[in-house]
Amino acid sequence: MKQPENRHRARKRFGQNFLHDQHIISHIVRSISPKESDNIVEIGPGKGAITALLLDACSRLNVVELDRDLIPILLQQFGHLEGFNINQADALKFDFATLGSIENPLRIVGNLPYNISTPLIFHLLSYSTLVRDMHFMLQKEVVLRMAAQAGDNNYGRLSIMTQYRCAVEHLFDVGPECFDPRPKVDSAIVRLTPYEKPPFPASDEKLLDSVVRTAFSQRRKTLRNTLKPLLTHEELIQLDIDPGLRPENLSLETYVSIANYLDKKAA
């Protein structure tokens, strides 16, 4: 008799690519280094490849899984364990504050669906004060964008807002052959460690995000054009910013200084 997990086919609408390479699975869990007392949440456990090793190391684990057809498979494997809990929900809408606190911070893990990875990262960053660290499998291109520095071609809003809240570490790459079905792109593991206090604190974080959005809304244009709705040419000069630069040329620190200037100006 076949096990239920063999009957489940990956669904394109959920962006499912199931990891099966045991060497990579072990490498990921070693990178996470789970401990008995950790408050771990796994997003998109799939058929439980990483879940099993996490439960070997810690006494409790919350998982967030959208695909209801995977729930019986997970319950069959782990439902007998007292510390295992399934949250059948969309991670994009899930309130992670219900699972963690400043005193009991979350360690979030996940092989994230590539089709929703960027909005999901922004959703998770909003809980950064309740998070100890995050380890994700993502499309390699997304990890490179998250870790990019000013001047890089792939530096943008995701880079700036992720690095505002977290230290970003590109740990290692994972090839398509490690998945079933094989994705058409390379993947990578990233570690995000939220700062207790941002290195460059913004007086209004929503304003910072708005400034960055505006700057990169037309990234091929110069700052004198993209930031025109917010700052005059003279104000850019006053802030020691060359109006002829493009948005990817400004550092996180400079974007924070722009946001703080605008916040003070509006007060």
- The answer to whether the beta carbons of residues 40 and 61 sit under 8 Å apart is yes
| Backbone conformation region of residue 15, classed left if phi is above 0, alpha if psi is from -120 to 50, else beta | left
* CATH number for the segment(s) 4-194: 3.40.50.150
| Percentage with pLDDT > 70 across the chain | 94
- Supply the angle between the helices 205-215 and 252-266 in degrees, to the nearest 10: 120
**Average pLDDT score over the chain:** 92
Sheet holding 84-88, edge to edge: 84-88, 61-65, 39-43, 106-111, 131-139, 187-194, 166-174
Question: What was the pLDDT predicted at 183?
Answer: 80
From residue 80, alpha-carbon distances to 34, 85, 112 in Å are 20, 10, 26
Question: What was the pLDDT predicted at 7?
Answer: 55
- The rounded distance, in Å, linking the Cα atoms of 79 and 83 is 9
- The answer to whether the beta carbons of residues 97 and 81 sit under 8 Å apart is no
Instruction: Label residue 15 by pLDDT band (50, 70, 90).
Output: very low
Domains 4-194 and 205-266 share a fold: no
Task: Look at residues 241, 245, 215, 240 and name the one whose alpha carbon lies nearest to residue 229.
Answer: 215
The domain segmentation of the chain, as residue ranges, is 4-194, 205-266
- Out of 10-24, 98-112, 129-143, pick the least confident: 10-24
H-state helical runs in 109-251 = 117-125, 140-147, 157-165, 205-215, 223-226, 233-238
- Supply the angle between the helices 157-165 and 252-266 in degrees, to the nearest 10: 80
Question: What was the pLDDT predicted at 13?
Answer: 43
* CATH number for the segment(s) 205-266: 1.10.8.100
- The rounded distance, in Å, linking the Cα atoms of 25 and 104 is 26
- The answer to whether the beta carbons of residues 129 and 136 sit under 8 Å apart is no
Bridge partners for 217 per DSSP: none
The pTM assigned to this predicted structure is 0.91
Q: Taking residues 4-11, what's their average pLDDT?
A: 46
